[in-house]
Amino acid sequence: MIITANQWKITLELLFYLSAVATIVSVFERPSEWDAIFVWLGIGIIREIINKTIGKDLKTVFDHKVFKFLDTVLLGVLVVGVYWNYRDLGILISTGITALLTLLTFLFRLFKRDDPASEDKF
């Protein structure tokens, strides 16, 4: 029995979605979340490599826009689950990112003054 490239692509896509659901469940249940995240990332990387090389000309049902939206939703749920389990770390990261953005905005406005009359004002 010969398995076609199309069947390989469909099998890999199904494996990706199954591992995404298993990862989300393990993140919320917390049995071994990091193992599940690494497996999901590994399968996702292999999936992207195959979709960009061998499978770029193969059209399956998983190439529909609905599955691209599903990818985004699953990633969002996974990020929420990780943030929920590590709230203190998430608050620290989000506060740090906000502080960096504020600093970059201030520096950008400082160096981007076009009006020479307003050099003394911010």
End-to-end CA gap in the chain: 73
Per residue in 57-116, pLDDT tens?
Answer: 777 777 777 788 888 888 888 877 777 777 666 676 777 778 788 888 887 777 776 665
- Sorted by sequence, the CB contacts under 8 Å of residue 114 that are 6+ apart come out as none
Radius of gyration of the chain (CA): 22
Residue 116 to residue 97: CA distance in whole angstroms: 32
pLDDT at 120 over 80: no
Residue 80 to residue 82: CA distance in whole angstroms: 6
pTM of the model: 0.57
Per residue in 11-40, pLDDT tens?
Answer: 888 888 888 888 888 887 776 777 888 888
Q: What confidence score (pLDDT) does residue 115 get?
A: 60
Residue ranges of domains in the chain: 5-113
Structure-block tokens of residue 89: 């770390």
Selection from 121, 6, 106, 107 nearest residue 56 by Cα: 6
